Chains A and B, each alone.
Chain A
């Protein structure tokens, strides 16, 4: 369970990134956060695994405060939270398998991981993760030889190998075409359902949000302006989140999916 208690983030220049956000996400939920760019979606997501520090409040992951953790404890909490990025963030010059195994470094002593000596079960885990996202045949290919969609699936495999209990996906499909978008979102949904991994995804398109989410959170200017099940997220609600009537291109992908 993820709990945000009165979380605020003020940047050094005085801008409010997040404004007194309180919410909790239960195990196994598939939450989609929507909002315009600059609404604080990315800041919120990155606060959860503390890639960004918050200035007020507290975030609690499965009972332990990540806000107060540091050093080894912080790394241990992060190990349980996998992250998917818009730009995939793979190491392009190394193989797919090594990128996936990188998800395992939190489980072993430093010297072992630096020498790349992963035990057999880890290798097995990495291959299983690649099989789950249907890309196992590329295991020994260099990451930069893959298409964008394939790279994002490798990134998902990395999170699976990490055995994360929570997946944070920051605009995972923003740089993908509609067809690959569907594959990647399907992968995330399937993993969420099969393994019960709590999943929080930032999206700026409305249709995929409605299609995949069990719960939608709307952000506007750093504040939660909507939080509820998909059924309640009507077009009017979305207009409120966006602060203006919806445009056709924000729906997107109705035809493609």
Chain B
């Protein structure tokens, strides 16, 4: 064979050791096992519970379709909450995004703390935020809207400032040369460059917020979530299934429309 010469001359590399992979697998298994022991969850429990799950599903069907009438208002409320929360958050996010962008705010001791604050805001789970706002403002959609606004603010500001940092500097220079002040510079050379991205981020956040708003009711922050609790509490599973299916349909529709819109934007 002609290849013989080559094999003699070149030393074949040795396959890298697989020890690292094995160790990783062992480590992950240990972690899982440890977690299971600590939380006292066992596989047998899952198997024992299986008939209950089947029973629950059986009770959910057929769904009591007429229940839709009673929850339409709550569902609309959920969407309204998402809409308001997203809008408030988006408006607040814009100036903060500008402050966080290192190419627009040159001073390090301004944009670094602002970014830190944004990171902090984003670590708070929205359900926890809603619970806190319920404690402050009482039951109803208002605390839910606030919670969504804070969440949207954190997300949109983060995405927007990252987009801001990639904009073309040329138009900024041109506006400076024209004699524009800071706000005019932002309005004429920054906003036009990011408005499509911004709109896309707002829509994306709205999608997330509709899903989030659907469960905020669990902590008393308005919307459809309250009805999960009520129907589950009264063991009316055929109604719960209606809520689930209804929510699913709404979320799917909004996701579809929003992603179509976002495709058009960019």
Contacts and interface: CB of A to CB of B under 8 A. Distances in A.
Interface stretch (B25-33, B144-152, B178-186, B215-223): B178-186
A106 interface: yes
Contacts of A75: 179-181
B110 interface: no
Contacts of B113: none
Interface centre among A75, A80, A88, A91 (most CB of B within 10 A): A91
Nearest to B182: A110
A76 to B, nearest CB: 7
Contact of A89 (B174, B195, B196): B174
A168 to B, nearest CB: 8
Contacts of B174: 83, 85, 89-90, 102, 155, 158
A110 B179 CA distance: 12
B177 to A, nearest CB: 4
B171 A51 contact: no
B193 to A, nearest CB: 7
Given A51-B177, A102-B178, A110 B171 contact: no
Contacts of B184: 105, 110, 113-114
Contact of B178 (A88, A93, A105): A105
B6 to A, nearest CB: 49
Given A51-B173, A85-B174, A89-B170, A114 B183 contact: yes
Contacts of A51: 173, 176-177
Contact residues on A (Cβ < 8 Å of other chain), bracket = 20 to 34
B160 to A, nearest CB: 16
Given A91-B188, A93-B196, A105-B184, A78 B176 contact: yes
Contacts of B188: 91, 102, 105, 113
Interface centre among A75, A79, A88, A102 (most CB of B within 10 A): A102
Contacts of A155: 174
A46 B168 CA distance: 18
A181 interface: no
B183 A49 contact: no
A82 interface: yes
Interface of A: 49, 51, 75-83, 85, 87-94, 102-103, 105-106, 110, 113-114, 155, 158, 162, 168
10 contacts: A76-B179, A83-B177, A89-B170, A93-B193, A93-B196, A94-B192, A106-B178, A114-B184, A114-B187, A155-B174
